[in-house]
Copies of this chain bind each other. A is one copy, B any other.
Amino acid sequence: MGKASPIILALDVAEHEKAIQIAESVKDHVWGYKLNWPAILGSGKQIISDIKKLNKPVIADLKLADIGNTLDLISQQVFAQGADYIIGQPFIGSEPFSIFDPKKLILVVEMSHPGATQFIQPLTEQFCSMAREMGVWGVVAPATRPDRVKQIRDWVGPETKILSPGVGAQGGTASETIQAGADLIIVGRAIYNTPDPKQAASCILEAI
């Protein structure tokens, strides 16, 4: 591999052994790992430290959307397991996130599912301004529409990382998303739901 991979593996696998096995097999083809509640419920919070042993960045994709006191109780346990970054929903306002080091925080500024048109997409510009003002490490913006990624890059500025899910199962393509301004692409089912996850990751990487 010539240059660093921009792929984040979304490891939404509930079975502990299978999750570890897949994570290990794609180690050389990914930038890092994203663990969401399906994996944490399935294996317990220790899955975070288990994956962290592979010495890659680990993102806890918790979609945090609660009051500050609860976010504090949740994040203490998650950072104690070695998570590097935590993902929150800006809908709850900037105040509950003030307990975090912004350099460990990632905010979801746009979502790609059909329901996102109702309340989220009309607020994306405001979420981006909030993310920029807070100086968060990164934002999540879907790979399904490269024109939106480009627009979001303008709104968040050059310093904020853009992480784009929706490549593969949801229809986005990796190269278009990177060209539009994303720093990292999040791939889940198109890697972990294949007979050979390592091969699948390698193919996506080559296509970029």
Residues of chain A whose beta carbon lies under 8 Å from any beta carbon of chain B: 12, 14, 36-38, 40-42, 44-45, 62-70, 73-74, 77-78, 89-97, 111-120, 123, 126, 169
Task: Say yes or no: B14 contacts A77, CB within 8 Å.
Answer: yes
10 additional contacts, CB 8 Å, given A92-B120, A95-B113? A37-B73, A38-B70, A38-B73, A38-B77, A89-B89, A91-B118, A93-B118, A93-B119, A96-B113, A96-B115
The distance from the CB of A58 to the nearest CB of chain B, in whole angstroms, is 15
* In-complex Cβ contact of A91 among B67, B74, B89 (8 A): B89
Q: Once the chains are docked, how many angstroms separate the CA of A91 from the CA of B123? A: 11
Q: Once the chains are docked, how many angstroms separate the CA of A159 from the CA of B192? A: 43
Give the copy number: 2
Task: Say yes or no: A41 contacts B38, CB within 8 Å.
Answer: no
Q: Once the chains are docked, how many angstroms separate the CA of A41 from the CA of B112? A: 28
Q: Once the chains are docked, how many angstroms separate the CA of A69 from the CA of B169? A: 11
- The 14 listed contacts between A and B (C-beta, < 8 Å) are A36-B66, A37-B74, A38-B70, A41-B45, A41-B78, A65-B65, A65-B89, A68-B115, A91-B118, A93-B115, A93-B117, A93-B118, A95-B115, A96-B115
